[in-house]
C-alpha cells in the first residue's frame, strides 16, 4: 500500500458566497486550513449528490480542521464578510492506494 497526498487552494469567493467545489471522494483523509487576516465566517460545506450542501466545519479565525466525512465534493462558503486582506483556504488530502 502506498499513500498519495496533495495540497491545493480551495476556491473562495471575494466576499459573501460560495467557492467552486472540488472533488474529494477518492481521499480518505482531508484537512482544511483557514488562514490569513479576515473578518468573516468561513464554512466548509460538503455534498454527496452535487446538489444539497451541508456545513462540515466553520470558523471566524485561522484554524485547521479535519474533514472526516465521506463526501463527493467540498467547497468554501463565506458569510458575514466585512474585510479580507489575506484570507486563504487550503485543502490537504491523502488517499491509500494499493499497488
Express each pLDDT in 11-41 by its tens digit: 888 889 999 999 998 888 899 999 999 999 9
Tell how strand 29-35 and strand 63-66 pair up: antiparallel
Segment 82-92 shows an average pLDDT of: 87
Whether the CA torsion 15, 35, 89, 71 is positive or negative: it is negative
| pTM for the structure as a whole | 0.88
The gap between the terminal CA atoms of the chain, to the nearest Å, is: 6
pLDDT recorded at residue 3: 55
pLDDT recorded at residue 94: 86
pLDDT recorded at residue 4: 61
Complete domains list, the chain, with CATH: 2-97 (2.60.120.230)
Higher pLDDT, 44 or 96: 44
pLDDT category, 86, cuts 50, 70, 90?
Answer: confident
Question: 3-class DSSP state for residue 84?
Answer: strand
> What does the block give as the cell for 23?
472533488
Distance, CA of 46 to CA of 11 (rounded, Å): 14
Question: 3-class DSSP state for residue 90?
Answer: strand
Amino acid at each position: 500500500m502506498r499513500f498519495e497526498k496533495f495540497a491545493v487552494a480551495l476556491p473562495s469567493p471575494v466576499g459573501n458566497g460560495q467557492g467552486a467545489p472540488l472533488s474529494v471522494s477518492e481521499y480518505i483523509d482531508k484537512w482544511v486550513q483557514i488562514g490569513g487576516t479576515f473578518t468573516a465566517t468561513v464554512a466548509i460545506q460538503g455534498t454527496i449528490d452535487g446538489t444539497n450542501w451541508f456545513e462540515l466545519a466553520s470558523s471566524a479565525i485561522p484554524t485547521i480542521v479535519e474533514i472526516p466525512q465521506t463526501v463527493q465534493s467540498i467547497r468554501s462558503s463565506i458569510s458575514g464578510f466585512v474585510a479580507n486582506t489575506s484570507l486563504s483556504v487550503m485543502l490537504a488530502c491523502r488517499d491509500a492506494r494499493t499497488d
